[in-house]
Chain A
């Protein structure tokens, strides 16, 4: 391997030191090296693309639990090397022989067995094994359940079982001080027999660390949050600090039977009672800071009970929120007290802004508009794509309407699914009135209430994190 191979490789790994970055930069002064870099980059991109598009075929090969065979290597090189390059081929074979030794490693055995239903795969190192063929689980084993799949881990010398629900990933770790598992994503329902105090079971998720001495609970590692629901006993739940280092720096709480807790960026870590109104299936309340903004015209009156625009005006009142990622829901009640007379457009809006701040924020407006270009309607509008969707809606002054917006982002697909509804009375309709997709623009920035040539009273402004 030349110096430059090493530099390029370590560049890909992000491990270059400052002087090495300078060396790489100097190396690129030569046009021939620049051409080489581009070829290298094309190869990388082409491999990535080919692997992504060939995923299904690879998956089938993995499902067979295919083992590494020398004949496969021979097959790889058969026909690709002239006899004059036999030496090079041999060197390659020797190099790849390194992988043969990977199978001979002796990772720690875990005294647990696994039973499965539906589609489940165990990844051991770089092999994908059928669970039926796995006798002992090992430290490092990664258990993946597909949709409809389910796996139960049992520790035979105690009555501890972990049921890994569908579409989840659980990794067994080396636990010198007790059992340690990493719930990478998805849900696990656990019944944990009493563990020695100095050797608790620890479950890690991307956001949290749950320490268990003996209890029954459900731990759910979602995309941007971790939810813990306690049925019996108690669990110590710690937030993993953002920098990524675990330990004492993270906030920690005890969650006991009848409580649930959510770990998510920007959300206060609290043990909350499981009730019909507040449980892991429903949103975790996100604080909307009512007193974070002062409008100079002083035409908005803000109190815990209500937020009121006292004059007929087209104005906006923003409120700070934590900058959260994830599936969010927003709600407010609104009453139009007065509006501009005549045929001009009037109404109200709930605004939710996503992104890193002004001026690049995305503004999603969900609004009730009367006398608008589409007549009387309830509308979702996105400021980035300029797309909108509207449903008929007639607003009567003096009546109270409930407005709800659901924003469910899929950052991987660069899209946020938006749904809105408006209704009167106690009974919330099951269906959404309007739905639309908008480009994904980043985390929640803030929320705002808006009057459009009207004076309105808003109450019950709420925001919640669903996932």
Chain B
């Protein structure tokens, strides 16, 4: 029981790292959520079968990677799929950032987002929450894709700068 408690504590502590890894690779919030939960189920199954897991974060990324590969294979309409080399490099990148703590930045981001005007927040919602494509958003808004791309990049850039500024202010 203690092991499960420890495993879930570690899993929850690293959930944002894992979710960021999955979400970046699958690019769809709903699929990312599904895969994330599948990893948790597999982790519990592994524990139940008595498997020894040395590095839990790495293990979870490995399982997520396999699930993502399965997901891509099922995407019959996908034109070009990334090869395993690219995925491995992304896996390495996240491994290198295992100790990165984004807690302060996340806190700052929530505050920055509150100040984003409704229309731009709707743009972020369409893109991130609903997973709409840029072309789809452009069609809905009767604008060119280039306009949407520019706006998205600039909102992200503004958020990035806002985060940095807030983190600096709150730093001791």
Chain A residues in contact with chain B, CB under 8 A?
1, 5, 9, 11-14, 16-18, 21, 24-25, 28-29, 31, 34-35, 37-38, 40-52, 54-55, 57-58, 61-62, 66-69, 72-73, 75-77, 79-81, 92, 95-96, 98-99, 101-102, 105, 107, 125-128, 140, 243-244, 384, 386, 411-412, 414, 439
Contacts and interface: CB of A to CB of B under 8 A. Distances in A.
Interface in B14-35: 16-17, 19-21, 23-24, 27, 29-30, 33-34
Interface string B81-114: 0110110011011101100101001100110011
B144 to A, nearest CB: 9
A37 to B, nearest CB: 5
B39 to A, nearest CB: 11
B109 A50 contact: yes
B117 A41 contact: no
Given A72-B119, A76-B120, 12 more contacts: A37-B93, A42-B100, A45-B20, A51-B129, A54-B113, A57-B114, A67-B119, A92-B157, A96-B151, A99-B123, A105-B141, A412-B30
A195 to B, nearest CB: 26
A105 B93 contact: no
Interface residues of B, number: 78
A17 B80 contact: yes
3 A-B pairs with the lowest CB-CB distances in the bound complex, closest first: A72-B117, A34-B93, A45-B20
B158 A76 contact: yes
Nearest to B98: A38
A99 B124 CA distance: 13
Contacts of A40: 24
A164 to B, nearest CB: 19
29 contacts: A14-B27, A25-B82, A35-B93, A37-B24, A38-B93, A38-B96, A43-B163, A45-B20, A45-B24, A47-B113, A48-B29, A50-B110, A51-B113, A51-B125, A52-B129, A54-B114, A58-B121, A81-B161, A95-B150, A95-B151, A98-B147, A102-B142, A102-B143, A107-B142, A126-B141, A128-B122, A384-B41, A414-B38, A414-B41
Do most interface residues of chain B lie in helix, strand or loop, or is the interface mixed?
A: helix
B16 A46 contact: yes
Given A13-B134, A25-B86, A412 B23 contact: no
A4 to B, nearest CB: 12
B24 to A, nearest CB: 4
B69 to A, nearest CB: 14
Nearest to A85: B161
Contacts of B157: 92
Contacts of A76: 115-117, 120, 158
Interface of B: 16-17, 19-21, 23-24, 27, 29-30, 33-34, 37-38, 41, 45, 48, 76-78, 80, 82-83, 85-86, 89-90, 92-94, 96-97, 100, 102, 105-106, 109-110, 113-126, 128-129, 133-134, 137, 140-143, 147, 149-163, 165
A44 B119 contact: no
Contacts of A41: 20-21, 23-24, 94
Contact of B124 (A38, A47, A127): A47
Given A43-B156, A48-B129, A384-B41, A80 B165 contact: yes
B153 A25 contact: no
Nearest to A75: B115
Nearest to A47: B128
Contacts of B106: 46, 49-50
A51 B124 contact: yes
A99 B151 contact: yes
Contact of B150 (A81, A98, A107): A98
A20 to B, nearest CB: 9
A14 B78 contact: yes
A29 B85 CA distance: 11
Contacts of A61: 118, 121
Given A45-B16, A48-B128, A125-B141, A412 B97 contact: no
A388 B74 CA distance: 31
Most buried by A among B20, B21, B100, B143: B20
B34 A411 contact: yes
A49 B16 contact: yes
A18 B82 CA distance: 8
B153 A126 contact: no
Contacts of B151: 95-96, 98-99
B147 A48 contact: no
Contacts of A51: 113, 121, 124-125, 128-129
A92 B161 CA distance: 12
Contacts of B23: 41, 44-45, 48
Nearest to B81: A21
Contacts of A102: 141-143, 147
